[in-house]
Chain A
Amino acid sequence: MAGEILVIGGGISGLTAAIEAAETGYDVILVEKNPYLGGRVSQLNKYFPKLCPPFCGLEILFKRMKSTPKLKYFTNAEVQEISGEPGNFTVKVKIRPRYVNENCTACGACREVCPVDAPDDYNFGMKNKKAIDLPNIMAMPFQYYIDDGYCNKCGECVSACRYNAIDLNEKEKELTLNVSAIIVATGWKPYDATKLENLGYGKYRNVITNMQMERLASPNGPTGGIIKTMDGKPIETIAFVQCAGSRDENHLPYCSAICCLASLKQATYVREQYPDAKIYIFYIDIRAFGRYEDFFAKVKADEKIELIKGKVAKVEEVNGKLVVTAEDTLSGVKSKREVDMVVLATGMQPAIEPIPGIELDEYGFVKAKPGIIPAGVAAMPVEVASANESATAAALKAIQLARR
């Protein structure tokens, strides 16, 4: 009899690890803190370098999940504490109420009557949602949820629901699991751009982050996929600021590994909608490693994309336009460009909060130790392909312990 495997995190790494282990024949429990699976990649418009939508791969993962009875998952769930040893861990999990149960058919009647508009974190506040809503259009589980922070418990949704799916009195639950191995795939969060004072985030509305750009370009995003300035104007000039926080001793000392390629990709989003827009990319090194070099070469061939080597020193607003000033630290050469919009290529920061039983390194990434197996960005900054490799490798280390 094999022991169970716990996977913490239901983003691309956690899903891959959980599904690969379950399909190999092991019992797997996945816990995800959001009300939906899919994690960060579900917020992305496209992947580099193929420019294909993440939902395509997620759909396959979800489909595999549905046909794998060995895999069970909990959303709105967070691990509180881990004790024990490899082969025999005890894990306390807290499950926050969703207030909407499995009876939900996602018919949407509740949403129609909900009087509360709330900023949608999934869209970085650029779009409103209802206090009761679907997390996103491809949500897994395909089930509504109530956002505790905004719901006023008016009960309108309860009366509208024909399926007895809403319980406003649902209470928090606690679960104790006994597992053999733990895969930690807690992923990342965008580095807080307001800390980058010189770059004008939070001060100028047309300075946005790369994750906001993903939402702007997504068909299910705040603008239906149309990229515009925050004043609703078309883009004539745009600047991408690389290493916004990364490779910086005052912020994230490491390189986030994906931001160069993400900005190159986002340059193609802009180009697709604006054939004449001028695009500037300020960089230190363009890190398009391996086969991704092909993608870099393709983007670089665009004559209206200018790559400028230099670290951006400041972003200012002058006469309603944003001015980006970069300085090459060694040569001292200064470059200035006037643009409509600035996209900060903010880095990835480990999302995990301290959990007793999990050890973190100086940057907050999870340290590997027997039975505690980090996967994907919980371990180090990586792009999706590497995250999947890391997750599959983590599944192997887990089954070695789970096998009896």
Chain B
Amino acid sequence: MEKVGVYICTGCDIDRLDVERLKNVAKEEFGIEPKVHPHLCSQQGVEMLKKDASELDALVIAACSPRVKTALFTFDDKYVERANLREGVVWSHEIDEHAQELAEDYLRIAITKAQKAMKPEPYIQEISKDILVVGGGVTGLTAALEIASAGYKAYLVEKEAELGGWVAKYYKTLPIEPPYRRIEENPVFRLVEEVKANENIEIYTSAHIDSISGQPGMFDVVLDKDGEKIQFRVGGIVVATGWKPYDASALEELGYGKFADVVTNLEFEEMAKGGKIVRKSDGGKVENVVFIQCAGQRDLNHLPYCSSVCCLVSLKQAKYVREIGGNAFIIYKDMRTPGLWEDFYKEMQQDVGIYLTKGEIREIKEENGKLTVFVTNTLLGEDIEIKADLVVLATGMVSTLKGLYTVKEEFPDEKAVPYKHIAEPHPVKSEEDVEIIKRAGHILNLSYRQGPELPTLKYGFPDSNYICFPYESRRLGIYAAGAVRAPMEIASCIEDARGAALKAIQAVELVAEGKTTFPRTGDIDFPNFFLQRCTQCKRCTEECPFGALDEDERGTPMPNPLRCRRCGICFGACPERIISFKTYSIDQMASAIKSIHVPDPNWEEGAEEKFRFIVFACENDALPALDMAALNGKKWSPLARVIPVRCLGSVNTVFIADALSKGIDGILLIGCKYGEDYQCHFIRGSELANRRMENVGETLQRLMLEKERVQVVEVSINEWDKIPEIINSFVNQIMEIGANPYKGF
């Protein structure tokens, strides 16, 4: 940026610093005459900034933390850089010469970053706002209808000949909205009719997806319908492929496959729908039906998780037994009818023919063609035996993504699983096995370098920060809904379909303007690749958590800007430093680091003031934690310069090298927790940073530098009370080791 304005606020005790010296930094070192204001965020201060902004490319605001008064200090498309003098200096340090030098460095960093930033231009393409819905069950049907009602065209693809999914096989259903009290007529047929009648929905049944290439807004879909290829372009995708039943043949211990009268809940549902609830063995009348809950679920040998719906389903099916005059016995571990579903449970408890008890199945025996279920550890404390005409196993739901080859990293044929948070590598032994899995049962068939499906967490559930941002998958524009995402009943599927539909609509609207989505929503800047210097090391294409980069045959990255979340992990990965954003670049960061004033090397042995440290802090967690520490009057070493980064994953090892060669004594990276319960908003950034720094450690030792000089720590946003101590002990540790010997070279 050419025209940079510098504004120093002296409010909130910033005037305790030597403001004249700060002004001189801007004036003498950068040739910019700064303006000083006693209350920059006042109406009058902002008016001044607004007026000046029209003549400027960038504004440097030396005041409070970038997290404070952010909207106020935003001026259309002007680049704004904040020097954090309040939380970062005066609130967190004794005001002395050290603090003064710290403030001056923050100003240097901010001005340098503003000067090195460039004006971003959005990546705007001719896009489609149509949305593809994969799966024609309740979730997919709802998603298609809701998308159409919002004014968008939906393509609905179903692999079976008929729409309706599993629910179409049900006799009756749980209620789809409160009050949750009675079983209801199956709503799916009405939904199917509505979908068929909707002009904004194009339906393809008996079809599967051959391939999807491109990027959000420009996904080119090729369908295969009975061998015929159908092509169209969509902007976003909702994955509603649902669930598959847990394979009951693994439940021989409960008599399945051994006794004819032991059936699954799905088989029982089909019997009810066919109007034939009879003994399977001899077609005889059914009087007693025993429902066995958690048939496989909550069991490490089968499905470790709870399928959420099976308690409700058995309660519903108990009602079917009552309709034919029989008695139902439900044996459960815990009756899980959370929230308002308690109403449904209570309603069923009113029925004298439905017996419920906690218990464990000891044995199922067959004598003279009739089953007996032996139950132990019951509520009454005694063992009971129940004669049963039918035993229904409440088997669980498995995500349709489970067992699929989803992303490359889930292949253990490449020695080890590189990312800790993926807990369940598939047991693939050989290249042939890999090929078999690759061909098996694909859903999306994405032509992404990293793999054909949505990346998953444990149990085949799509990877996301599932508490706070449940729909944010690792593939921009593609959102999962319904039982593919987590086991759920129909009411939840309907709601989930709406949520995913909204996200798909939002994605197409944003990419139409060249903007990214969560968490940097609206960011138009995207990474540029100077490919002439690419060495095809493939780090960027492998490490991008969002699969934004494909590869040509030689391994050169092929960027897809509309898939990009703008985390900067690629830019952190590149050893050739050829990836940069306009507003966040290698040159900018390296120059900012070099702008830090490292005192003259003619220093006395052990003189503290000569040490300098850099703290790269994740702007989502570590930076706010530092702000809160400052707000609470915590103090930390004034020798450390905190540089916020989008994600620790965007810290390139060249920053470390530059800092060390400049004479910085130690570098601390503070990022989010990683592993199975990762907190990183870019999924893997902090984990990747950790791995890269391990490699840096080895390099340091070759250079005869102590590896302790570069450290990574994981911190949560609420550990603000610990962060100052983390910085201080790092500083002290390095001061004990001694100054960086490269200082002054």
The interface of chain A, by Cβ under 8 A from chain B, is 20, 23-25, 45-47, 49-53, 55-57, 59-61, 63-64, 66-69, 103, 105-107, 137-138, 142, 162-164, 218-220, 224-225, 247, 253-257, 285-294, 297, 309, 328, 330-331, 333, 361, 363, 365, 367-368, 379-382, 384-386, 388-390, 392-393, 395-397, 399-400, 403
Please name the residue on chain A nearest to B471 by beta carbon: A392
Given contacts A50-B677, A67-B521, contact A24 B339 (CB under 8 A): no
B48 on the interface (CB 8 Å rule)?
no
Whether the pair B12, A399 counts as a contact (CB closer than 8 A) is no
Interface bits B689-721 vs A (CB < 8 Å: 1, else 0)? 000000000000000000000000000111111
Given contacts A293-B298, A400-B149, contact A255 B717 (CB under 8 A): no
Whether the pair A255, B719 counts as a contact (CB closer than 8 A) is no
Please name the residue on chain B nearest to A382 by beta carbon: B339
Tell me which residues across on chain A come within 8 A of B517, comparing CB atoms.
23
Q: How far is the CA of A131 from the CA of B93 in the complex (A)?
A: 28
Tell me which residues across on chain B come within 8 A of A59, comparing CB atoms.
620-621, 624, 717
B426 on the interface (CB 8 Å rule)?
no
- Among B343, B465, B488, B717, which residue has the most Cβ atoms of chain A within 10 A? B717
Q: How far is the CA of A255 from the CA of B335 in the complex (A)?
A: 12
- Among A45, A52, A66, which residue has the most Cβ atoms of chain B within 10 A? A52
Whether the pair B68, A400 counts as a contact (CB closer than 8 A) is no
Please name the residue on chain B nearest to A333 by beta carbon: B381
- The smallest beta-carbon distance between A366 and chain B, in angstroms, is 10
B177 on the interface (CB 8 Å rule)?
yes
Interface bits B618-630 vs A (CB < 8 Å: 1, else 0)? 0011001000100
What are 16 A-B pairs with beta-carbon distances under 8 A?
A24-B509, A50-B679, A56-B621, A57-B465, A59-B717, A60-B681, A64-B519, A106-B68, A162-B39, A219-B718, A290-B307, A297-B298, A381-B340, A397-B498, A399-B502, A403-B150
3 shortest interchain CB distances as A-B pairs: A57-B468, A393-B498, A392-B499
Tell me which residues across on chain A come within 8 A of B70, comparing CB atoms.
63, 66-67
- The smallest beta-carbon distance between B497 and chain A, in angstroms, is 8
Tell me which residues across on chain B come within 8 A of A20, comparing CB atoms.
502-503, 506
Whether the pair B358, A253 counts as a contact (CB closer than 8 A) is no
Given contacts A137-B628, A381-B340, contact A291 B458 (CB under 8 A): yes
Q: How far is the CA of A365 from the CA of B304 in the complex (A)?
A: 33
The interface of chain B, by Cβ under 8 A from chain A, is 11-13, 39, 41-43, 64, 67-71, 74, 146, 149-151, 177-179, 297-298, 304-308, 334-343, 346, 358, 379-381, 458-459, 461, 465-471, 486-488, 492, 495-499, 501-503, 505-506, 509-510, 517-519, 521-522, 620-621, 624, 628, 631-632, 672-673, 677, 679, 681, 716-721
Given contacts A56-B621, A385-B466, A393-B498, contact A24 B506 (CB under 8 A): yes
Whether the pair B502, A393 counts as a contact (CB closer than 8 A) is yes
Whether the pair B631, A137 counts as a contact (CB closer than 8 A) is yes
Tell me which residues across on chain B come within 8 A of A293, comparing CB atoms.
297-298, 304-306
Given contacts A57-B469, A255-B341, contact A392 B41 (CB under 8 A): no
Whether the pair B11, A53 counts as a contact (CB closer than 8 A) is no
Whether the pair A60, B459 counts as a contact (CB closer than 8 A) is no
- The smallest beta-carbon distance between B521 and chain A, in angstroms, is 5
Tell me which residues across on chain A come within 8 A of B718, comparing CB atoms.
45-46, 53, 55-56, 218-220
Tell me which residues across on chain B come within 8 A of A247, comparing CB atoms.
342
Please name the residue on chain A nearest to B338 by beta carbon: A257
Q: How far is the CA of A103 from the CA of B43 in the complex (A)?
A: 8
- Among B74, B340, B346, B672, which residue has the most Cβ atoms of chain A within 10 A? B340
Given contacts A60-B468, A137-B631, A219-B719, contact A142 B510 (CB under 8 A): no
Q: How far is the CA of A321 from the CA of B487 in the complex (A)?
A: 43
User: Is chain B's binding surface mostly helix, strand, loop or mixed?
Assistant: loop
Whether the pair B495, A107 counts as a contact (CB closer than 8 A) is no
Q: How far is the CA of A49 from the CA of B679 in the complex (A)?
A: 12
Whether the pair A396, B499 counts as a contact (CB closer than 8 A) is yes
Please name the residue on chain B nearest to A283 by beta carbon: B334
- Among A59, A162, A288, which residue has the most Cβ atoms of chain B within 10 A? A59
Whether the pair B339, A254 counts as a contact (CB closer than 8 A) is yes
Tell me which residues across on chain A come within 8 A of B518, comparing CB atoms.
23, 64
Contact among B297, B334, B621 with A285 in the assembled complex (CB-CB below 8 Å): B334
Contact among B42, B340, B716 with A380 in the assembled complex (CB-CB below 8 Å): B340
Please name the residue on chain A nearest to B294 by beta carbon: A293
Q: How far is the CA of A392 from the CA of B146 in the complex (A)?
A: 13
Tell me which residues across on chain B come within 8 A of A396, comparing CB atoms.
146, 150, 498-499, 501-502, 505
Whether the pair B717, A390 counts as a contact (CB closer than 8 A) is no
Tell me which residues across on chain A come within 8 A of B11, comparing CB atoms.
105, 107, 162-163
- The smallest beta-carbon distance between A62 and chain B, in angstroms, is 8
Q: How far is the CA of A171 from the CA of B248 in the complex (A)?
A: 68
Whether the pair A255, B620 counts as a contact (CB closer than 8 A) is no
Q: How far is the CA of A87 from the CA of B130 in the complex (A)?
A: 25
Whether the pair B721, A219 counts as a contact (CB closer than 8 A) is yes
- Among A49, A293, A381, which residue has the most Cβ atoms of chain B within 10 A? A293
- The smallest beta-carbon distance between A111 and chain B, in angstroms, is 11
Tell me which residues across on chain A come within 8 A of B149, comparing CB atoms.
400
- Among B74, B502, B522, B681, which residue has the most Cβ atoms of chain A within 10 A? B502
Whether the pair B342, A254 counts as a contact (CB closer than 8 A) is yes
Please name the residue on chain B nearest to A394 by beta carbon: B498
Please name the residue on chain B nearest to A64 by beta carbon: B521
Whether the pair B308, A289 counts as a contact (CB closer than 8 A) is yes
- The smallest beta-carbon distance between B257 and chain A, in angstroms, is 26
Whether the pair A287, B717 counts as a contact (CB closer than 8 A) is no
- The smallest beta-carbon distance between A249 and chain B, in angstroms, is 9
Q: How far is the CA of A225 from the CA of B716 in the complex (A)?
A: 14
Whether the pair A330, B467 counts as a contact (CB closer than 8 A) is no
Please name the residue on chain B nearest to A402 by beta carbon: B150
Whether the pair B470, A389 counts as a contact (CB closer than 8 A) is yes
Whether the pair A389, B340 counts as a contact (CB closer than 8 A) is no
- The smallest beta-carbon distance between A317 and chain B, in angstroms, is 30
Whether the pair A50, B467 counts as a contact (CB closer than 8 A) is yes
Whether the pair A385, B717 counts as a contact (CB closer than 8 A) is no
Whether the pair A289, B679 counts as a contact (CB closer than 8 A) is no
Contact among A23, A106, A220, A403 with B521 in the assembled complex (CB-CB below 8 Å): A23
Whether the pair B177, A52 counts as a contact (CB closer than 8 A) is no
Tell me which residues across on chain A come within 8 A of B467, comparing CB atoms.
47, 50, 52, 57, 384-385, 388
Q: How far is the CA of A50 from the CA of B467 in the complex (A)?
A: 8
Tell me which residues across on chain B come within 8 A of A330, comparing CB atoms.
379-380
Whether the pair B628, A138 counts as a contact (CB closer than 8 A) is yes
Tell me which residues across on chain A come within 8 A of B471, comparing CB atoms.
389, 392
Whether the pair A392, B305 counts as a contact (CB closer than 8 A) is no
Whether the pair A388, B468 counts as a contact (CB closer than 8 A) is yes
- Among A142, A292, A361, A382, which residue has the most Cβ atoms of chain B within 10 A? A142
Tell me which residues across on chain B come within 8 A of A107, comparing CB atoms.
11-13
Please name the residue on chain A nearest to B623 by beta carbon: A59
Given contacts A24-B502, A68-B522, A285-B336, contact A385 B677 (CB under 8 A): no
Q: How far is the CA of A81 from the CA of B39 in the complex (A)?
A: 39
Please name the residue on chain A nearest to B465 by beta carbon: A57
Whether the pair A254, B42 counts as a contact (CB closer than 8 A) is no
Please name the residue on chain B nearest to A47 by beta carbon: B467
Whether the pair A163, B519 counts as a contact (CB closer than 8 A) is no
Given contacts A23-B510, A24-B502, A255-B341, contact A288 B306 (CB under 8 A): yes
